[in-house]
Amino acid sequence: MAQDISEPGLPEPGPDTFNFDDYLEGNSTFPTFEHTAYLDQEAGSRLGAVMAELELLVERLEVTEQRISARKHESANSFVDSLLDELMEERDEINGLIKKALDERDALRKQIVDKSITLVFQVKTAEELGTVTRKATRRFHKENPQYKNANEDDLDYLTARSRYTITAQIAHFCISMRVPGRKEPVARPTQEQADNLLLRLISSEMLRLMESVSTGLSAAQDWAGKLDAGFPGGGPDVEDLGLDQVGTEDGESMERASADDADRGED
């Protein structure tokens, strides 16, 4: 849109060449996120036990150190204290057990990481996520006629549908995978391969993967709200202040227009 008025001494400005579509194309980006699935779940279970054992040993060590300190204060004038000697021997024993547990923890961690697979996802628009989800739901019902009359109270139906949908989302939004020992990424999984991955995971790991994908693809992050608030670390929830109560540097009040929730793509 051409401007009619130019400042004295300056040439008359030309037409406005701003192109909305080009601006969107050049500046709109989408984030990526990763999820690592740990396949050596036997080692993972053992790691959990070792970590619990370490916590107990550290607690024992703290108690023993306190007893040693108290005993030293009580027997400050004694040259021989058999109880203090026993406590110090107990401390050395606990430290030895802690070192052994730490060595096992580190070895298990390496073993687990060496047998993992990392999926890299590219977030897209809410419209694309909704389209993928709806298509997967329709395919699921077509391929599983036994659920034709199922309702939302049927746990088996909900589990099977969610599993089918998440594998479709993995196949569509996963852009690459990384495995230990390979420098270059490997090809993204097909839906069948994604389902095979879920079959290899215990319930807790499967749920962790499903939650990670679901959250990463659709959950709103709070970074934009912090930018809108106009100060580092701020947000609409800080001190219960609305954005219309946050002032700019020159003292003027900022107002924020309401926004509709992103379309989740559900029919």
pLDDT per residue over 143-153, tens digit each? 999 998 888 88
**Residues 122 and 107 occupy one common structural domain:** no
Residue 260 has pLDDT above 50, yes or no: no
> Which carries the bigger pLDDT value, residue 178 or residue 250?
178
Domain boundary among 97, 113, 129: 113
Contact criterion met (CB below 8 Å) for 148 and 157: no
Question: Residue written as tokens 């709200």?
Answer: 225
**Residues 120 and 201 occupy one common structural domain:** yes
Q: What is the DSSP letter of 184?
A: S
- Tell me what pLDDT residue 225 has: 74
Any domain includes 243: no
**Residues 132 and 178 occupy one common structural domain:** yes
Any domain includes 17: no
**44: its two tokens:** 């993972």
**Residues 135 and 171 occupy one common structural domain:** yes
Domain boundary among 80, 113, 146: 113
- Tell me what pLDDT residue 224 has: 72
Average pLDDT score over residue span 120-141: 94
The β-bridge relationship of strands 32-38 and 116-122 is antiparallel
Q: What is the mean pLDDT of the chain?
A: 82
Lowest mean pLDDT among 75-79, 150-154, 256-260: 256-260
**Residues 122 and 59 occupy one common structural domain:** no
Residue 218 has pLDDT above 70, yes or no: yes
User: Beta-strand (E) ranges in the chain?
Assistant: 32-38, 116-122, 174-178
Average pLDDT score over residue span 212-223: 79
**Residues 152 and 68 occupy one common structural domain:** no
**Residues 104 and 121 occupy one common structural domain:** no
> What whole-number percentage of the chain has pLDDT above 90?
59
Number of H-type helices and E-type strands within the chain: 8, 3
Any domain includes 20: no
Number of domains, the chain: 2
Any domain includes 63: yes
What gap in Å lies between CA 200 and CA 206, rounded to an integer?
Answer: 8
Could you tell me the pLDDT band of residue 17, with boundaries at 50, 70 and 90?
confident
**Residues 93 and 156 occupy one common structural domain:** no
**Residues 108 and 162 occupy one common structural domain:** no
**Residues 92 and 135 occupy one common structural domain:** no
Any domain includes 5: no
Give this prediction's pTM: 0.70
> Which carries the bigger pLDDT value, residue 17 or residue 118?
118
Any domain includes 68: yes
Classify 247 as helix, strand or coil: strand
What gap in Å lies between CA 68 and CA 90, rounded to an integer?
Answer: 10
Residue 175 has pLDDT above 50, yes or no: yes
- Any idea what the Cα angle at residue 182 is, between residues 180 and 187, rounded to 5°? 100
Could you tell me the pLDDT band of residue 241, with boundaries at 50, 70 and 90?
very low
**Residues 169 and 89 occupy one common structural domain:** no
**Residues 82 and 141 occupy one common structural domain:** no
> What whole-number percentage of the chain has pLDDT above 70?
76
Domain boundary among 75, 94, 113: 113
**1: its two tokens:** 């849109």
CA dihedral 203, 208, 211, 216 (to 10 degrees): -150
Question: Residue written as tokens 């389209």?
Answer: 131
Contact criterion met (CB below 8 Å) for 213 and 163: no
| Residue 27 exposed, middle or buried by CB count within 10 Å (0-12, 13-18, 19+) | exposed
Average pLDDT score over residue span 6-32: 77
The residue segments making up the domain with residue 182 are 115-217
**Residues in Cβ contact with 117 at an 8 Å cutoff, skipping those fewer than 6 apart:** 36, 37, 39, 177, 178, 179, 197
Q: What are phi and psi of 117, to 5 degrees?
A: -140, 130
Any domain includes 12: no
Any domain includes 264: no
